A and B are shown apart, each in its own frame.
Chain A
Amino acid sequence: MRAALLLAALGLPALALAGSPDLVEEGERWWTVSADPANPVACATCHFDPAATRGWAASFPKWKPLPPPHARVMTLFQANAEAVARHYRLRDPRRVAAAITAYLAAHGVGVPLSPGISAGQPVFPERLRALVTSVKRGRSLFARRCDACHRAGEAARALAAYPRVTDGRVESLEEFLERHRGEESLAWDSQVTADLIAYLTEESR
Protein backbone atom coordinates (compact mmCIF):
# COMPACT_ATOMS: atom_id res chain seq x y z
CA MET A 1 0.00 0.00 0.00
CA ARG A 2 2.77 2.37 1.00
CA ALA A 3 4.67 1.44 -2.15
CA ALA A 4 1.62 2.15 -4.27
CA LEU A 5 1.21 5.52 -2.57
CA LEU A 6 4.86 6.27 -3.17
CA LEU A 7 4.63 5.33 -6.84
CA ALA A 8 1.56 7.49 -7.13
CA ALA A 9 3.45 10.34 -5.45
CA LEU A 10 6.23 9.85 -7.97
CA GLY A 11 3.63 10.04 -10.69
CA LEU A 12 3.86 6.38 -11.65
CA PRO A 13 1.22 3.75 -12.24
CA ALA A 14 1.82 0.90 -9.80
CA LEU A 15 2.64 -1.57 -12.56
CA ALA A 16 4.55 0.79 -14.82
CA LEU A 17 7.26 -0.85 -16.90
CA ALA A 18 10.29 0.92 -18.31
CA GLY A 19 10.13 1.67 -21.98
CA SER A 20 6.92 1.05 -23.84
CA PRO A 21 7.37 -1.24 -26.86
CA ASP A 22 7.07 1.81 -29.10
CA LEU A 23 9.82 3.61 -27.19
CA VAL A 24 12.06 0.54 -27.32
CA GLU A 25 11.44 0.29 -31.06
CA GLU A 26 12.20 3.96 -31.49
CA GLY A 27 15.38 3.49 -29.48
CA GLU A 28 16.49 0.63 -31.70
CA ARG A 29 15.98 2.88 -34.73
CA TRP A 30 18.12 5.64 -33.22
CA TRP A 31 20.68 3.02 -32.26
CA THR A 32 21.04 1.87 -35.85
CA VAL A 33 20.42 5.07 -37.84
CA SER A 34 22.14 8.39 -37.20
CA ALA A 35 19.98 11.42 -36.55
CA ASP A 36 22.57 13.48 -38.39
CA PRO A 37 21.87 13.16 -42.13
CA ALA A 38 25.36 14.45 -42.89
CA ASN A 39 27.10 11.80 -40.83
CA PRO A 40 25.86 8.23 -41.18
CA VAL A 41 27.94 6.89 -38.27
CA ALA A 42 25.37 5.54 -35.78
CA CYS A 43 25.78 3.83 -32.40
CA ALA A 44 25.52 0.43 -34.08
CA THR A 45 28.23 1.29 -36.60
CA CYS A 46 30.88 0.75 -33.93
CA HIS A 47 28.86 -1.13 -31.30
CA PHE A 48 27.63 -3.72 -33.77
CA ASP A 49 27.83 -6.80 -31.55
CA PRO A 50 24.54 -7.25 -29.63
CA ALA A 51 26.24 -9.59 -27.15
CA ALA A 52 28.77 -6.89 -26.26
CA THR A 53 26.08 -4.32 -25.45
CA ARG A 54 23.66 -6.59 -23.59
CA GLY A 55 25.22 -5.82 -20.19
CA TRP A 56 25.49 -2.06 -20.71
CA ALA A 57 22.29 -1.02 -18.96
CA ALA A 58 23.07 -3.18 -15.93
CA SER A 59 26.53 -1.61 -15.59
CA PHE A 60 25.16 1.90 -14.91
CA PRO A 61 25.55 4.22 -13.08
CA LYS A 62 29.27 4.10 -13.67
CA TRP A 63 32.36 6.19 -14.20
CA LYS A 64 32.44 7.43 -17.79
CA PRO A 65 35.97 8.22 -18.93
CA LEU A 66 35.17 11.36 -20.88
CA PRO A 67 38.08 13.70 -21.52
CA PRO A 68 39.00 15.60 -18.34
CA PRO A 69 37.46 17.49 -16.61
CA HIS A 70 34.22 15.89 -17.81
CA ALA A 71 34.93 12.34 -16.67
CA ARG A 72 32.50 11.43 -13.87
CA VAL A 73 29.88 8.98 -12.69
CA MET A 74 26.91 9.05 -15.06
CA THR A 75 23.60 7.35 -15.46
CA LEU A 76 22.84 5.43 -18.65
CA PHE A 77 20.51 8.20 -19.79
CA GLN A 78 23.14 10.89 -19.15
CA ALA A 79 25.79 8.87 -20.96
CA ASN A 80 23.47 8.30 -23.91
CA ALA A 81 22.59 12.00 -23.99
CA GLU A 82 26.26 12.96 -24.05
CA ALA A 83 26.97 10.46 -26.82
CA VAL A 84 24.07 11.41 -29.10
CA ALA A 85 24.68 15.15 -28.57
CA ARG A 86 28.24 14.61 -29.73
CA HIS A 87 27.80 12.01 -32.46
CA TYR A 88 24.37 13.00 -33.79
CA ARG A 89 24.90 16.71 -33.18
CA LEU A 90 21.56 17.14 -31.43
CA ARG A 91 20.99 20.40 -29.56
CA ASP A 92 18.46 18.68 -27.28
CA PRO A 93 19.44 15.01 -27.04
CA ARG A 94 16.89 13.97 -24.39
CA ARG A 95 14.21 12.31 -26.53
CA VAL A 96 16.72 10.25 -28.52
CA ALA A 97 18.70 9.43 -25.37
CA ALA A 98 15.56 8.27 -23.54
CA ALA A 99 14.58 6.04 -26.45
CA ILE A 100 18.06 4.51 -26.67
CA THR A 101 18.03 4.04 -22.88
CA ALA A 102 14.75 2.14 -23.17
CA TYR A 103 16.18 0.04 -26.00
CA LEU A 104 19.36 -0.84 -24.09
CA ALA A 105 17.35 -1.63 -20.94
CA ALA A 106 15.08 -3.96 -22.93
CA HIS A 107 18.11 -5.48 -24.67
CA GLY A 108 19.63 -6.25 -21.26
CA VAL A 109 16.57 -7.64 -19.52
CA GLY A 110 17.63 -10.43 -17.17
CA VAL A 111 21.20 -9.26 -16.74
CA PRO A 112 21.89 -8.78 -13.00
CA LEU A 113 22.66 -5.21 -11.91
CA SER A 114 26.39 -4.60 -11.63
CA PRO A 115 26.94 -0.83 -11.32
CA GLY A 116 30.45 0.11 -12.36
CA ILE A 117 31.28 -3.25 -13.87
CA SER A 118 30.70 -4.23 -17.49
CA ALA A 119 30.59 -7.94 -18.25
CA GLY A 120 33.66 -9.05 -20.16
CA GLN A 121 35.51 -5.80 -19.47
CA PRO A 122 38.38 -5.26 -17.06
CA VAL A 123 37.58 -3.89 -13.61
CA PHE A 124 39.19 -0.55 -12.84
CA PRO A 125 39.53 0.02 -9.07
CA GLU A 126 39.76 3.81 -9.35
CA ARG A 127 36.48 3.94 -11.27
CA LEU A 128 34.81 1.78 -8.61
CA ARG A 129 36.13 4.06 -5.88
CA ALA A 130 34.61 7.03 -7.70
CA LEU A 131 31.29 5.18 -7.84
CA VAL A 132 31.41 4.41 -4.11
CA THR A 133 31.98 8.11 -3.43
CA SER A 134 29.07 8.98 -5.72
CA VAL A 135 26.79 6.57 -3.83
CA LYS A 136 27.83 8.20 -0.54
CA ARG A 137 27.01 11.66 -1.89
CA GLY A 138 23.69 10.31 -3.15
CA ARG A 139 22.84 8.87 0.27
CA SER A 140 23.56 12.19 1.90
CA LEU A 141 21.49 14.04 -0.70
CA PHE A 142 18.58 11.63 -0.28
CA ALA A 143 18.65 12.12 3.50
CA ARG A 144 18.65 15.88 3.07
CA ARG A 145 16.18 16.20 0.23
CA CYS A 146 13.92 13.16 -0.06
CA ASP A 147 13.84 11.33 3.26
CA ALA A 148 10.99 13.36 4.72
CA CYS A 149 8.52 11.98 2.16
CA HIS A 150 10.12 8.86 0.66
CA ARG A 151 11.82 5.72 1.86
CA ALA A 152 14.94 4.85 -0.12
CA GLY A 153 14.04 1.22 -0.71
CA GLU A 154 10.65 2.16 -2.10
CA ALA A 155 11.99 4.96 -4.25
CA ALA A 156 14.61 2.55 -5.56
CA ARG A 157 11.89 0.24 -6.85
CA ALA A 158 10.63 3.06 -9.08
CA LEU A 159 13.92 3.15 -11.01
CA ALA A 160 12.82 0.39 -13.34
CA ALA A 161 9.78 2.38 -14.48
CA TYR A 162 11.89 4.87 -16.45
CA PRO A 163 12.10 6.10 -19.10
CA ARG A 164 8.34 6.21 -19.37
CA VAL A 165 5.75 7.52 -21.78
CA THR A 166 3.01 9.65 -20.25
CA ASP A 167 0.35 11.20 -22.45
CA GLY A 168 2.60 10.70 -25.43
CA ARG A 169 5.48 12.46 -23.70
CA VAL A 170 8.72 10.63 -23.06
CA GLU A 171 10.35 11.26 -19.71
CA SER A 172 13.53 9.95 -18.15
CA LEU A 173 14.00 9.57 -14.41
CA GLU A 174 16.58 12.35 -14.59
CA GLU A 175 14.05 14.75 -16.13
CA PHE A 176 11.44 13.71 -13.57
CA LEU A 177 13.86 14.46 -10.73
CA GLU A 178 14.66 17.83 -12.29
CA ARG A 179 11.06 18.96 -12.10
CA HIS A 180 10.21 17.15 -8.84
CA ARG A 181 9.70 19.36 -5.80
CA GLY A 182 12.73 20.22 -3.74
CA GLU A 183 14.65 23.10 -2.29
CA GLU A 184 17.33 22.86 -4.92
CA SER A 185 16.86 22.05 -8.56
CA LEU A 186 18.54 18.87 -9.80
CA ALA A 187 19.58 19.37 -13.41
CA TRP A 188 18.91 16.21 -15.43
CA ASP A 189 22.48 16.03 -16.68
CA SER A 190 24.20 16.87 -13.38
CA GLN A 191 26.53 14.94 -11.15
CA VAL A 192 24.16 15.28 -8.17
CA THR A 193 21.37 13.58 -10.14
CA ALA A 194 23.76 10.77 -11.03
CA ASP A 195 24.75 10.54 -7.34
CA LEU A 196 21.13 10.22 -6.25
CA ILE A 197 20.41 7.54 -8.85
CA ALA A 198 23.66 5.74 -7.98
CA TYR A 199 22.48 5.58 -4.35
CA LEU A 200 18.99 4.39 -5.28
CA THR A 201 20.45 1.78 -7.63
CA GLU A 202 22.57 0.49 -4.77
CA GLU A 203 19.45 0.37 -2.57
CA SER A 204 17.59 -1.60 -5.22
CA ARG A 205 20.10 -4.46 -5.31
Chain B
Amino acid sequence: MAKKIQMPSKVRLMSHPEYNIVCRVFAGTIPYRVRIFITDAAGEDGRPFTIPTSLLPTILGMTEGAFFGGVPGALGGAAGGYIGSFINLAYLINAGDAYDSLTGKDRDTLVHETTHVWQGKNSTFALSYVFNSVYNQCVLRNAYAYTPNQPWKSYNVEQQASIVEDWYMAGESTSSNLYHYITDNVRKGDA
Protein backbone atom coordinates (compact mmCIF):
# COMPACT_ATOMS: atom_id res chain seq x y z
CA MET B 1 0.00 0.00 0.00
CA ALA B 2 1.31 3.47 -0.86
CA LYS B 3 2.62 5.48 2.09
CA LYS B 4 0.98 8.83 2.67
CA ILE B 5 2.73 12.16 2.31
CA GLN B 6 4.88 12.81 5.37
CA MET B 7 4.65 16.29 6.87
CA PRO B 8 7.83 17.81 8.32
CA SER B 9 8.52 17.17 12.00
CA LYS B 10 12.19 18.23 11.92
CA VAL B 11 14.02 21.00 10.09
CA ARG B 12 17.66 22.05 10.14
CA LEU B 13 20.26 23.84 8.06
CA MET B 14 22.36 21.79 5.69
CA SER B 15 25.27 20.52 7.81
CA HIS B 16 28.92 21.35 7.16
CA PRO B 17 29.79 17.75 6.08
CA GLU B 18 26.82 17.78 3.66
CA TYR B 19 27.81 21.19 2.33
CA ASN B 20 31.41 20.03 1.85
CA ILE B 21 30.18 17.19 -0.38
CA VAL B 22 27.98 19.38 -2.57
CA CYS B 23 30.60 22.15 -2.78
CA ARG B 24 33.02 19.58 -4.20
CA VAL B 25 30.47 18.81 -6.92
CA PHE B 26 28.99 22.23 -7.68
CA ALA B 27 31.93 24.47 -6.69
CA GLY B 28 30.67 28.04 -6.11
CA THR B 29 27.40 27.72 -8.00
CA ILE B 30 25.02 26.80 -5.17
CA PRO B 31 23.49 29.08 -2.51
CA TYR B 32 25.20 29.67 0.85
CA ARG B 33 24.79 26.84 3.34
CA VAL B 34 22.43 28.92 5.50
CA ARG B 35 20.02 29.07 2.57
CA ILE B 36 19.59 25.33 2.25
CA PHE B 37 17.32 23.56 4.72
CA ILE B 38 16.74 19.89 5.26
CA THR B 39 13.46 18.48 6.58
CA ASP B 40 12.15 14.96 7.16
CA ALA B 41 9.06 15.63 5.05
CA ALA B 42 8.50 13.39 2.05
CA GLY B 43 6.08 12.89 -0.78
CA GLU B 44 4.09 9.75 -1.44
CA ASP B 45 6.01 6.52 -0.65
CA GLY B 46 8.67 8.49 1.22
CA ARG B 47 9.93 10.19 -1.91
CA PRO B 48 12.22 13.20 -1.44
CA PHE B 49 11.55 16.52 -3.14
CA THR B 50 13.08 19.97 -3.20
CA ILE B 51 11.21 23.25 -3.33
CA PRO B 52 12.09 26.92 -3.24
CA THR B 53 10.94 28.33 0.11
CA SER B 54 8.81 30.90 -1.71
CA LEU B 55 6.39 27.99 -2.22
CA LEU B 56 5.93 27.43 1.53
CA PRO B 57 3.04 29.87 2.04
CA THR B 58 1.17 28.13 -0.76
CA ILE B 59 1.81 24.58 0.39
CA LEU B 60 1.74 24.85 4.16
CA GLY B 61 -0.22 28.03 4.61
CA MET B 62 2.56 29.57 6.72
CA THR B 63 5.31 32.09 6.15
CA GLU B 64 8.94 31.09 5.91
CA GLY B 65 9.55 33.00 9.11
CA ALA B 66 7.00 30.87 10.96
CA PHE B 67 8.32 27.63 9.43
CA PHE B 68 11.98 28.37 10.24
CA GLY B 69 11.28 29.95 13.62
CA GLY B 70 13.20 27.26 15.50
CA VAL B 71 16.23 27.06 13.23
CA PRO B 72 19.13 29.19 14.53
CA GLY B 73 20.48 31.60 11.92
CA ALA B 74 17.68 30.89 9.49
CA LEU B 75 17.10 33.82 7.19
CA GLY B 76 16.50 36.40 9.85
CA GLY B 77 13.14 34.92 10.90
CA ALA B 78 9.93 36.68 9.96
CA ALA B 79 11.60 39.31 7.79
CA GLY B 80 12.93 36.51 5.63
CA GLY B 81 9.46 35.07 5.43
CA TYR B 82 7.93 38.34 4.34
CA ILE B 83 10.55 39.08 1.70
CA GLY B 84 10.60 35.45 0.67
CA SER B 85 6.96 35.67 -0.37
CA PHE B 86 8.11 37.83 -3.26
CA ILE B 87 11.57 36.56 -4.10
CA ASN B 88 13.07 33.19 -3.39
CA LEU B 89 15.59 33.27 -0.57
CA ALA B 90 16.22 29.64 0.21
CA TYR B 91 15.55 26.02 -0.67
CA LEU B 92 14.03 23.17 1.25
CA ILE B 93 15.27 19.64 0.66
CA ASN B 94 12.61 17.31 1.97
CA ALA B 95 14.65 14.17 2.50
CA GLY B 96 12.16 11.93 4.32
CA ASP B 97 13.88 8.95 5.97
CA ALA B 98 17.24 10.11 4.58
CA TYR B 99 17.18 13.14 6.94
CA ASP B 100 20.00 11.77 9.13
CA SER B 101 21.99 9.83 6.54
CA LEU B 102 22.69 12.23 3.71
CA THR B 103 26.45 11.91 4.11
CA GLY B 104 26.23 8.12 4.34
CA LYS B 105 24.04 5.64 2.51
CA ASP B 106 21.80 8.40 1.10
CA ARG B 107 24.49 10.55 -0.54
CA ASP B 108 22.78 9.97 -3.89
CA THR B 109 19.70 11.78 -2.56
CA LEU B 110 21.84 14.66 -1.25
CA VAL B 111 23.51 15.22 -4.63
CA HIS B 112 20.34 14.69 -6.69
CA GLU B 113 18.24 17.06 -4.61
CA THR B 114 21.02 19.66 -4.43
CA THR B 115 21.06 19.63 -8.23
CA HIS B 116 17.47 20.91 -8.03
CA VAL B 117 18.68 23.65 -5.67
CA TRP B 118 21.39 24.47 -8.22
CA GLN B 119 18.77 24.56 -11.01
CA GLY B 120 16.63 26.94 -8.97
CA LYS B 121 19.52 29.25 -8.17
CA ASN B 122 20.89 29.36 -11.70
CA SER B 123 17.56 29.79 -13.52
CA THR B 124 15.81 33.08 -14.14
CA PHE B 125 12.83 31.78 -12.17
CA ALA B 126 13.56 29.56 -9.17
CA LEU B 127 10.29 27.70 -9.70
CA SER B 128 10.87 26.74 -13.30
CA TYR B 129 12.59 23.43 -12.46
CA VAL B 130 9.54 22.29 -10.49
CA PHE B 131 7.31 22.67 -13.54
CA ASN B 132 9.93 21.20 -15.86
CA SER B 133 10.08 18.14 -13.57
CA VAL B 134 6.29 17.77 -13.45
CA TYR B 135 5.94 18.13 -17.21
CA ASN B 136 8.60 15.56 -18.00
CA GLN B 137 7.37 13.08 -15.40
CA CYS B 138 3.95 13.31 -16.99
CA VAL B 139 5.00 12.92 -20.62
CA LEU B 140 7.98 10.55 -20.38
CA ARG B 141 7.98 6.89 -19.31
CA ASN B 142 11.23 7.44 -17.43
CA ALA B 143 12.10 11.10 -16.99
CA TYR B 144 15.38 10.24 -15.24
CA ALA B 145 17.06 7.97 -17.82
CA TYR B 146 19.44 9.59 -20.27
CA THR B 147 21.83 8.87 -23.11
CA PRO B 148 25.29 10.34 -22.41
CA ASN B 149 27.08 12.81 -24.68
CA GLN B 150 24.03 14.82 -25.74
CA PRO B 151 24.07 18.61 -25.27
CA TRP B 152 23.49 19.58 -21.60
CA LYS B 153 20.59 21.87 -22.47
CA SER B 154 18.77 19.04 -24.23
CA TYR B 155 18.31 17.19 -20.92
CA ASN B 156 15.31 17.82 -18.71
CA VAL B 157 15.87 18.81 -15.05
CA GLU B 158 15.59 15.21 -13.78
CA GLN B 159 18.05 13.93 -16.38
CA GLN B 160 20.49 16.68 -15.38
CA ALA B 161 20.10 15.71 -11.71
CA SER B 162 20.64 12.04 -12.63
CA ILE B 163 23.83 12.87 -14.54
CA VAL B 164 25.28 14.77 -11.58
CA GLU B 165 24.15 12.05 -9.15
CA ASP B 166 25.58 9.24 -11.32
CA TRP B 167 28.92 11.03 -11.77
CA TYR B 168 29.20 11.48 -8.01
CA MET B 169 28.08 7.94 -7.12
CA ALA B 170 30.53 6.36 -9.56
CA GLY B 171 33.39 7.93 -7.66
CA GLU B 172 33.70 11.51 -9.02
CA SER B 173 36.10 10.31 -11.71
CA THR B 174 37.74 12.89 -13.97
CA SER B 175 37.91 10.23 -16.70
CA SER B 176 34.14 9.59 -16.59
CA ASN B 177 32.16 10.29 -19.76
CA LEU B 178 29.95 12.53 -17.58
CA TYR B 179 32.78 14.65 -16.20
CA HIS B 180 32.65 17.23 -19.00
CA TYR B 181 29.12 18.18 -17.88
CA ILE B 182 30.48 18.88 -14.39
CA THR B 183 33.26 21.14 -15.64
CA ASP B 184 31.59 22.75 -18.68
CA ASN B 185 28.04 23.21 -17.37
CA VAL B 186 27.47 22.48 -13.69
CA ARG B 187 30.42 24.39 -12.25
CA LYS B 188 29.70 27.28 -14.60
CA GLY B 189 26.13 27.65 -13.39
CA ASP B 190 24.73 26.73 -16.81
CA ALA B 191 21.27 25.53 -15.76
Q: Do A and B bind each other?
A: no
Interface of B toward A, CB cutoff 8 Å: none
Interface of A toward B, CB cutoff 8 Å: none
